[in-house]
């Protein structure tokens, strides 16, 4: 046939680059990262604590620490001393397993422009994104559950005794983080702060960071001694410009755990294999990967009636920890109002 009709290109095949594939974009996971960043400062024997050999041991892990005990000083020295012994406490870690399964078909991969390596990488990232969303939701829920429920000292903001938060009026937007730091100092938190913000607060931060020395209003003084995080999982009311959880540094801990057989590797246990892999997002210390080998009919999914199939499970156990203190709670919730 003339005009090369027999060799007309019916399909132009190429690949979308991984950088251009925004379907796999990852959130900031700000709450999770805030719990993770100082975990070894919060849990003194973290590496031993996170590598308990069995799940039974894991479920009973507890954190012991000393508590503040208040006494009224006497006005004279005593002839016979009867001092207090002091007090301590013990918190139990609540653990949750996060696991996502996925499948890789040998026949499907052979008959597909997206080969086995690409399919496996995509499935791992899919699973990690799903685990990340669930863990981030749990991290925000932990902050919300452990927020301050009493007004300790809030002369620069308005205390909401129903929702347990401090409101800063929009008229004070330029000093939002400065007000937060000042009030935390009035509660005797004089170290650095971790501030986990709803995404809208990034606009304020970036704008203020660019109001430097060359501008008539230098607002960058507010940003020393603070670590900022973004979480779009935070619930932000329609009458608030933004929402923040403010925590003294070294107050949040995340412990992640995988079974010993995954840490050590058990590759050929019948039709199963157990191994571990680094966290693709660099948050968890490691993640567990279980593999099952099967032969099945995959003709309905682009394979054959006798197909070699790998079934995977990506998993990690996560526990969040916030110490309790005697007079208040470590997490303080702030909002910037629209009015």
Tens-place pLDDT, residues 312-330: 999 999 999 999 887 789 9
Token pair 């900031």 is at which residue?
28
pLDDT of residue 12: 54
pLDDT beyond 70 at 211? no
Closest of 137, 131, 132 to residue 234, by C-alpha: 137
Percentage of the chain lying above the pLDDT 90 cut = 54
pLDDT at 292: 95
Residue 295 or 302, more confident: 295
Which residues fall within 8 angstroms of residue 227, CB to CB, at 6 or more apart? 34, 37, 192, 193, 194, 195, 249
Q: Note the pLDDT of residue 2.
A: 42
More confident residue, 271 or 18: 271
The answer for residues whose C-beta is within 8 angstroms of residue 323's C-beta and 6 or more apart is 42, 63, 65, 91, 251, 330
Full 3-state SS string of 117-165 = HHHHHHHHHHHHHHHHHHHHHHHHHHHHHCECCCCCCCCCCEEECCCCE
Distance CA 25, CA 290 (A): 25
The pTM (predicted TM-score) of the whole model is: 0.87
Q: Is the pLDDT of residue 13 over 60?
A: no
* 277 vs 25, residue with greater confidence: 277
Contacts of 218 (CB under 8 A, 6+ apart): 211, 212
Please report how the helices 116-145 and 30-37 are oriented relative to each other, as an axis angle in degrees rounded to 10.
80
């Amino acid at each position: 046939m003339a005009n090369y009709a027999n060799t007309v290109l019916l399909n132009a095949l190429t690949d979308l680059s991984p950088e251009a594939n925004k379907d796999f974009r990852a959130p900031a996971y700000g709450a999770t990262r805030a719990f993770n960043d100082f975990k070894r400062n919060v849990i003194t024997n973290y590496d031993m604590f996170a590598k308990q050999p069995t799940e039974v041991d894991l479920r009973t892990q507890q954190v012991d620490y000393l508590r503040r005990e208040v006494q009224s000083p006497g006005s004279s020295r005593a002839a016979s001393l009867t001092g207090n012994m002091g007090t301590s406490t013990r918190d139990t870690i609540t653990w949750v397993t996060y696991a996502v399964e996925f499948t890789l078909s040998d026949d499907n991969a052979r008959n597909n422009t997206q080969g086995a390596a690409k399919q496996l990488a995509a499935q791992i990232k899919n699973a990690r994104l799903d685990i990340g969303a669930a863990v981030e939701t749990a991290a925000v829920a932990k902050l919300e559950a452990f927020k301050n429920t009493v007004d300790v000292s809030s002369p620069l903001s308005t205390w909401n005794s129903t929702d347990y938060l401090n409101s800063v009026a929009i008229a004070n937007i330029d000093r939002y983080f400065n007000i937060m730091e000042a009030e935390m100092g009035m509660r005797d938190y004089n170290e650095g702060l971790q501030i986990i913000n709803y995404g809208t607060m990034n606009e304020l931060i970036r704008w203020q960071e660019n109001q430097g020395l060359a501008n008539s209003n230098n607002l960058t003084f507010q940003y020393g001694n603070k670590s900022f995080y973004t979480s779009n999982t935070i619930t932000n009311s329609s009458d608030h410009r933004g929402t923040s959880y403010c925590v003294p540094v070294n107050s949040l801990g995340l412990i992640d755990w995988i079974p010993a057989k995954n840490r050590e590797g058990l590759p050929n246990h019948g039709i199963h294999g157990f191994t571990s892999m680094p966290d693709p997002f660099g948050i968890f210390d490691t993640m567990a990967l279980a593999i099952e080998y099967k032969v099945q009919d995959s003709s309905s999914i682009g394979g054959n009636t006798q197909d070699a199939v790998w079934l995977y499970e990506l998993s990690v156990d996560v526990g969040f920890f916030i110490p309790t203190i005697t007079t208040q709670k470590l997490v303080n919730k702030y909002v910037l109002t629209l009015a």
